[in-house]
Structure 1
Amino acid sequence: MGNHHHHHQHSAAEHDGAAMAELLDLEAEVLHSYLSEVTAWIHELTSDLPPRRILDLGSGTGAGILTLLRRFEEADGIALDVDEHMLHRLGGKARDLGMDHRVRTVQADLDVAWPAVGTVELAWASASLHHMADPDRVLTEVFSSLRPGGLLAVLEMDSLPLPRFLPDDLGLGRPGLEARCRALLAETLADRLPHLDSGWGARLAGAGFAVEAERTFAIDLKPPLPASTGRYAQATLRRIRSGLGDRMSADDLATLDILVDDDGPGSVLRRDDLTVRATRTVWMARRP
């Protein structure tokens, strides 16, 4: 009995990991132009010291490191993540792109210990620092790993990590559904992720970095949208549904079920009025 229970927990965690990996892959496809813009900016800022080794902190399924390695063809990458499933998926993508010889994956929990990664010229932390128990200690470790003159790019989101997709009036009799979901999500995340929406500029300076630039990207994609937008919206709303289900009204849950359904006429996969709206802020910080 105990063993069965353990197996059930394990497979639930695996399922959640697989769903999260899928969500990250869809996000990378849909927000491709934003990633491309940020890495082009990094390319400009590193013209004096082109990176030979790039470190991705909390790499997930590899959107950041693989975009950077396409941008810096002479560089090798180290992808750090706590999740073995994500790193396995990243390895498969690197192989498909013919880049596996350029990426080393390292499974590590940065809340426990800093792994031996050697020195790098460029570090990238996209939506990962707010997950750390002690981001200031992690920033100090990154500082030590960077060569003098090396650059750290920190990409963070506003207080809510998930974009908005839906028009306010869905035509399903539940106007404002997404706003209500987001308000509940903000309450939940305030407890779970206390460092979300932190003053990263001050924290970077505190770790010894010289902050060179801070820039906010307002992502606002309108039709025609990337092909995977409907699936990205579906995966995002499913994640909200599983995380907040017990705190939502029966009517809102029923409407969400219509939206995330694979086949129904009201599914986000069939709607032609989706948009993608999100805010991301990027800090460029250098080790003097």
Structure 2
Amino acid sequence: MASNKLRSPKLLNHSPANLSIRLMWVGVGITAVFILIAGLAPLFQAWGWIQSPTELLSNPIHHPPSAEHWFGTTRQGYDVFSRTLFGSQAALKVVVLATLMSLLIGVPLGLASGYLGGTLDRLLLFLMDAIYTLPGLLLSITLAFVVGRGLVNAAIALSIAYIPQYYRIVRNHTVSIKTELYVEAAQAMGASTWHVLSRYLFANAIQSVPVLFTLNAADAILILGSLGFLGLGLPETTPEWGNDLRQALEALPTGIWWTAFFPGMTMTLMVVGLSMLGEGLNEFVNPKLRQNR
């Protein structure tokens, strides 16, 4: 009787694995909404549905949320709703650029280091471990001081902090895979290094990268917001959640809560969505996680 209960579809539907899949789809939905908002925000402005995020009101006195200004306005006279929508566009641009840059650098280095070994492997391991030991936020702040403010510069500052993560995961996979029989057979048949890397090693070593990409994107949003809050991210007038939170800090003691609440909650929601997506992907990429639950 107990065995039949354990096998019943009703109980299986409530397993942790199925819960992770549901959470993943919630993450997919949240992420898709933000991507849609980022793409449609310029159209909304062109159609006159929302105000320009950099346009000051004729009457710059702050207004609480209302039918005219859904998220209220700032003390400077900016529409919070418009800046929040366009903030998702800035976040996605920087985060996608940063994670792509770190992926395109870290993955090839990991493949070459793990497969070739020797002096190259030791030098790269030393360099990547040195970078990896530094906290991502601290490293990004330091690099932001060096490269300056701007969208591309912020992406560079973020990407350097993530390169070691892609390098380490791909390098470790490559080291474990290169001794497999099918790889040694390809080498014995005279396959070139490029052919072995691209045909046999890359496809296996890349499996965990989508999960890391998604989780890094969530982390990058928080770091970008921190850089903006410190005045080191995008230019001050650019609609970006960290910039808006820094400007809202001065208004909070006077009771103007909405200038900090809406950008902060929006950033939090996007981070939660990406984190759910990453954890759900991890269930598919690592079947052992499902077996251990």
Per the normalisation by structure 1, the TM-score is 0.23
Q: Which structure has the larger Rg over C-alpha atoms?
A: 2
Structure that is richer in strand per residue: 1
Structure that is richer in helix per residue: 2
